[in-house]
Structures are given as structure tokens and as C-alpha cells.
């Protein structure tokens, strides 16, 4: 194979050796090439003697290139300015927790005595609700009143947004379960009897006020009744 570089003259003739035949074969003059792009170079390659195969031009790409665009992260929807008073780590006073849990259970059962802890954390986009409940009460069966207990530990996490008065919670993760005893023994199937104690998703739809700040906790998933509690810094 013979490589011919254009030298800028239309009359230039270059000869090469045909390695297959062992004879001197004249090659046609390489066409002059005017390179108008300083970022490219041109090489003319002959794979066969002139007159049998057309020349092939190989161009190298300019070194100049444009860097790829860096993707822009998706924006997080900001919390309403009025709700920024909720951002932080909070606890609800023990007396308020007992009253809240007691009122929740009292909507279903008698002789309620409640205690527990309730904490709540808000960042600009996420929340964590941690609840520990211990409630004693009486179940009024046809066979007579039966002492019972309800114990629950759970952690609820998710994302939240808010208007000037109401919280909307999404991406819910609800981990935890409750334990029921009757006469000190866990019953078999209690059906839906105890589902009225404490709402499953207490944060979604909760109303609030920055005067405190305070939250209006729903007492049950089956009731629109609420109880206002004051948040205390942890």
C-alpha cells in the first residue's frame, strides 16, 4: 500500500511500487485538498494502483468539543411559609398524650386509663411520628365486663406539604403493631373491635397553628373529633 500526501500542486506525480507485481507503476497525481477547517486533517490512501481503485479520504475530528450538560436535580416542593414553624423535633406533654389516647379509647370502651409517649419531627420535606401507647379499659361483652389492655409501639414516616392550616402526608411508611389482652391473655380473633383506638395515619389531614405551635389530633379513623395539643421542643 502507498500513502500519498497532497502537496498543493496539480502537476505533482508520485510513483510507487506494486508489491504484488514487482514493477514500477505510475500513480495518478493526488488531488490537491484545500483544508478549510483548521481542526481537521486529511490523509489520502491508495490501496491499489491508480486507475483501479478510487482514493479513500479519512478525516479526523476536531479536538474541540462541548462538555455534556450536567443534569439539574429535581426541585423539592417547598413547605408553605406559614408551616415552617413546625420544622423541628417535638414532643407532646405526657398529660396531653394520656388525655388524647384516653379520649380515643373512650369512644369505644369504658373505664379507660391511658399513658404513653408521642414525639414528632418535621424537616422541610419529611416527618417522623413515634408513638408508644399503653391503655387499660373494659370491654362490655354479653357475658359481662372484661378487663383488657391495648399496647402499641410504632413509627410512621413520610413526606409532607402544608397549606396555611392543613398538613398533607404522602409516601407513608407505617411500622408497628398492637397487642391486645383480655383477662391477661391474648385473645384469638378480635375482628374489628379494637380498630377504633388511635388513627392509623394521624398526620395526613391534620390541622395546625403556629400559635404554640399546636396540632389538632384526630381521635379515631371513624370519627371527625379532634383534640388540640401543644408541641414542646425536645
- The structural domains of the chain, with segments of one domain joined by +, span 1-62, 81-233
Q: What is the pLDDT of residue 57?
A: 41
Q: What is the pLDDT of residue 149?
A: 93
Q: Where do runs of H (alpha helix) occur along the chain?
A: 94-106
The owner of cell 380498630 is 195
* Overall residue count recorded for the chain in this entry: 234
The answer for residues whose C-beta is within 8 angstroms of residue 231's C-beta and 6 or more apart is: 86, 90, 91, 92, 120, 212, 213, 214, 215
Partners of 147 in the β-ladder: 138
Q: What is the pLDDT of residue 90?
A: 97
Residue 44: closest CA among 53, 36, 18, 26? 53
Q: What is the pLDDT of residue 154?
A: 93
Q: What is the pLDDT of residue 14?
A: 42
Task: Confirm if 25 and 49 have CB atoms less than 8 A apart.
Answer: yes
Give, as one character, the DSSP assignment of residue 188: S
Q: What is the pLDDT of residue 32?
A: 45
Q: For residues 176 and 132, what is the distance between their CA atoms, to the nearest angstrom?
A: 10
Q: What is the pLDDT of residue 223?
A: 82
Q: What is the dihedral sign for C-alpha 202, 207, 213, 218?
A: negative
Q: What is the pLDDT of residue 161?
A: 93
The one-digit pLDDT tens for each residue of the chain (234 residues) are 444 444 444 444 444 444 444 444 444 444 444 455 555 444 444 444 455 444 444 444 444 445 555 544 444 455 667 789 999 999 999 999 999 999 999 988 999 999 999 999 999 999 999 999 999 999 888 899 999 999 999 999 999 999 999 999 987 898 988 888 999 998 877 666 777 788 888 999 999 999 989 999 999 888 889 999 999 999
Task: Confirm if 101 and 135 have CB atoms less than 8 A apart.
Answer: yes
Q: Could you tell me the three cell numbers for 91? A: 414532643
Q: Could you tell me the three cell numbers for 207? A: 390541622
- At residue 136's C-alpha, the angle toward residues 132 and 140, to 5°, is 135
Q: For residues 69 and 74, what is the distance between their CA atoms, to the nearest angstrom?
A: 15
Backbone angles phi, psi at 19, to 5 degrees: -65, -25
Q: What is the pLDDT of residue 209?
A: 94
Amino acid at each position: 500500500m502507498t500513502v500519498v500526501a497532497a502537496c498543493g500542486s496539480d502537476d505533482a506525480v508520485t510513483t510507487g511500487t506494486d508489491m504484488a507485481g514487482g514493477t514500477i507503476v505510475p500513480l495518478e497525481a493526488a488531488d490537491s485538498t484545500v483544508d478549510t477547517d483548521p481542526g481537521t486533517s486529511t490523509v489520502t490512501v491508495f490501496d491499489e494502483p491508480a486507475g483501479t481503485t478510487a482514493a479513500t479520504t479519512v478525516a479526523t475530528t476536531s479536538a474541540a468539543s462541548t462538555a455534556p450538560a450536567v443534569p439539574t436535580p429535581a426541585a423539592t416542593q417547598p413547605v408553605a411559609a406559614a408551616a415552617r414553624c413546625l420544622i423541628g423535633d417535638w414532643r407532646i406533654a405526657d398529660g396531653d398524650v394520656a388525655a388524647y389516647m384516653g379520649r380515643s379509647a373512650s369512644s369505644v370502651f369504658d373505664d379507660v386509663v391511658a399513658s404513653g409517649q408521642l414525639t414528632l419531627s418535621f424537616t422541610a420535606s419529611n416527618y417522623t411520628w413515634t408513638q408508644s401507647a399503653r391503655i387499660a379499659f373494659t370491654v362490655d361483652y354479653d357475658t359481662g365486663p372484661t378487663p383488657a389492655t391495648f399496647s402499641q409501639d410504632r413509627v410512621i414516616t413520610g413526606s409532607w406539604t402544608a397549606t396555611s392550616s392543613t398538613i398533607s402526608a404522602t409516601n407513608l411508611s407505617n411500622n408497628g403493631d398492637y397487642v391486645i389482652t383480655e383477662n391477661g391473655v391474648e385473645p384469638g380473633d378480635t375482628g374489628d373491635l379494637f380498630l377504633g383506638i388511635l388513627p392509623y395515619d394521624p398526620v395526613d389531614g391534620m390541622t395546625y397553628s403556629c400559635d404554640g405551635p399546636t396540632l389538632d389530633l384526630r381521635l379515631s379513623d371513624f370519627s371527625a373529633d379532634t383534640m388540640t395539643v401543644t408541641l414542646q421542643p425536645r
